[in-house]
Structure 1
């Protein structure tokens, strides 16, 4: 969507950033009548924080299967966080960040772990390592993913890459409507997205081409319900993030990195 990020309350005159609060309600007086005082920009990200401290306390002493009530609460918090997140904020394209990836992987891992008939110590250590670090964006390294839970890594990559790819395509649509720093839409007073560097429109076709390849590789992983080598799953994520870097900066090295990681995912 396109929003005016800087709001002004029509009741008390206070100003605030919609990008920070995600609300048109005045933070000073609570009034719901406000107006935007800047140009519209593309925006898909909502304010969201991930605090897993209560769940770490609950699961820290768990052995074998997890407490059912606790699992449901954890999944609900992770889904709510993922639902709010997007990758365009105030016209800027964001990276595919580690906290979002870790939340996605933990959501998949909890569900998969809970269905294991006889989880091992390694399975439990992996799950608790995810729980310990997800809100700080820390995930176990590729080689630490247990064979019995590798579908969690794979499906987390599928979900995350699909969401990022969708926002990146929307960003490219906005970028293609911009010419010489002016919005192509006569009703708009300024571009709705922004990037660094010269000739940003030259980045659109190479990115779209690689996004098609990325979609194909992601669909293959999804068809296998994520049961792919963890290194292949990580390669999909790295390729998506590198494409975002290329669009933001125009750095050809990022485009080459995306191609290389897609090739890694094909092997």
Structure 2
């Protein structure tokens, strides 16, 4: 959607940034009566910061299974509200988003296993420990049981990013970026069709290509575009 990022309260005259607060209520007096100030900009990111401390405490007191349902509810709420355009500015596919999406799938994998091995259980705990801090396990730390969870989570993340970048390119046309985005989308659809059953290396390469494409369109970095294209071509 396109919104005016600055608001002015009709009651007290206070001005604030909707992009900072995500609220239409005046932060000074609480009034809901305000008007937009300035031009409109695309905005798709309205999530509050992710906080998993309550679920970490529940898991430590019992198990991940004890925290699972409430944890998944909060993760879904966060992911639904997240986007990659903030006040007209394009954002990266960040590690918090990726880890949150992976944790959602990983908890389901753990729940389906009657007797999960220690490696799998500890991996889910590592995701829970670091997701809201922008920390995600390195590729070589992903156990075989979680490869598909990471692959599908990253594909879903990149599908969401692709939709936002396509919208952003409507306002900032760039045929080179559009073509590369289309290629990225083809790879993402393939991974989704395989339900994430690809190597961790491939999943990571797609994320890196998306970030390189962001660097190109946001910073006019021609070398980043070349790197993204080369990376995608090697995945063909």
TM-score (norm 2): 0.96
**Larger helix share, 1 or 2:** 2
Separation of aligned partners in 1, 2:135 and 2:24: 33
8 A contact 1:113–1:149 mirrored in 2: no
Match of 1:78 in 2: 75
Counterpart Cα distance in 1 of 2:48 and 2:3:
18
CA contact (8 A) 1:235 1:264 kept: no
Q: 1:60 to 1:261 in 2, by over 3 A?
A: farther
CA distance in 1, matches of 2:167, 2:220: 18
**Segment of structure 1 superposing worse, 162-171 or 212-221:** 212-221
Quote the Cα distance in structure 2 between the aligned partners of 1:128 and 1:264.
Answer: 33
Once the two structures are TM-superposed, the CA of residue 62 in structure 1 deviates from its matched residue by 4.5
Match for residue 17 of structure 1? 17
Deviation at 1:50, TM superposition (A): 0.8
Using the TM superposition, give the Cα deviation of residue 208 of structure 1 relative to its aligned residue in structure 2, in angstroms: 1.1
Alignment partner for residue 140 of structure 1, among 127, 137, 141? 137
How do 1:62-77 residues align onto structure 2 when only pairs under 5 Å count? 62=62, 66-67=65-66, 70-77=67-74
* Offset at residue 132 of structure 1 (A): 0.7
Contact 1:87/1:95 (CA < 8 Å) preserved in 2? yes
Shift of residue 123, structure 1, vs aligned partner: 0.3
How many angstroms apart in 1 are the aligned matches of 2:53 and 2:20?
Answer: 23
Decide whether aligned partners of structure 1 residues 78 and 8 sit closer, same or farther in structure 2, where only a CA change above 3 A counts.
same
Map Cα deviations across residues 92-145 of structure 1 (whole Å, 9 max, x no partner).
Answer: 111111111111111111111111232111101111111111011111110111
Q: How does 1:60-209 map to 2 (within 5 A)?
A: 60=60, 62=62, 66-67=65-66, 70-176=67-173, 204-209=174-179
The structure with the largest alpha-carbon Rg is 1
Q: For structure 1, which runs of at least 5 residues remain unmatched after alignment?
A: 177-203
Q: RMSD value over aligned CA atoms? A: 1.4
SS in 2 for 1:66: helix
1:234 is matched with which residue: 204, 207, 211?
Answer: 204
Is residue 213 of structure 1 aligned with residue 213 of structure 2?
no
Instruction: Give the equivalent residue in structure 2 for 1:244.
Output: 214
Q: Distance in 2 between matches of 1:129 and 1:263?
A: 33
